[in-house]
Each structure stands twice: as C-alpha cells, then as structure tokens.
Amino acid sequence: MKQALLVFLGGGFGSVLRYLVSKPLNSISQNFFIGTFTVNILGCLIIGLVLGFSAKGDILSENNSLLLATGFCGGFTTFSAFAFEKHTFLKSGDYLNFAIYMMASIILGILSVVLGLWLAKQT
C-alpha cells in the first residue's frame, strides 16, 4: 500500500508540474508543441538519472525510485518510460524488437488518438 501511495503522490506532482511547464510554453508556438516537447525530453533526462542512480543501489531506494521514476515521471510524461525502454532494447542489441516496438508504438498511438476522436464524435 505504501508503494502505491508513493506512485500516486509522485504522479500527482508530476502531472501538475507538466501542466505548469507545458501550458505557457505551448502557447508561445503554434506549429510546434514546445512545452510538450520540453517536458518529454526533460522527463527522459530525469528517468535516466533516477534509474541510473537506482542501479547503483546505494543512492536511491526502491521506494524513492517508485516515487520519482514510476510516479513523478509517469505523471510528468510517459515518454520518459518509452525512451528508457527503447534504450534497453538498444543496450541489449535487440534491434529488431527496438524497431518493431518503436514503430508500433508511434503508429498505434496516433491511430488510437484518431480512433478515440472518431468514437467521441459518434456519440
């Protein structure tokens, strides 16, 4: 239960911070979502740091990793987890699954948005 609460708290904080960072930045640019891009790239950096420090074992505990990586980065951006997972494929030399997962995620993600918009329009 404690671990779920840590994820919940980190996710809430990450979501609020994403809103506070991305909303004003996105209003600056009309052709490029600079706010979204910024939080996604920053989230990738943060999850890399958190998971890197966690791997060392003595810097961040499992609970701290849940709060920061799963919770905060999950709320701040899911792109960070996506990027880390792709790094894992590359690190292990699994280029085929890297390519399949990358393309499927992008294509199916966009198609899912289109489907959701279409379904919402139908009701």
Closest CA to 42 of 71, 62, 22: 22
What is the dihedral sign for C-alpha 88, 91, 92, 96? positive
Query: Residue 123: which pLDDT band, with cuts at 50, 70 and 90?
Result: low
Give the number of domains in the chain: 1
The answer as to whether 38 is a domain residue is: yes
The answer as to whether 116 is a domain residue is: no
Mean pLDDT of 22-29: 88
What is the dihedral sign for C-alpha 87, 109, 30, 16? negative
pLDDT reported for residue 110? 93
Strands (E), 29-88: none
77 is in an annotated binding site: yes
Domain that holds residue 13: 2-77
Q: Kindly tell me if the per-residue pLDDT of 62 is higher than 80.
A: yes
Mean pLDDT of 30-53: 87
Q: Kindly tell me if the per-residue pLDDT of 83 is higher than 80.
A: yes
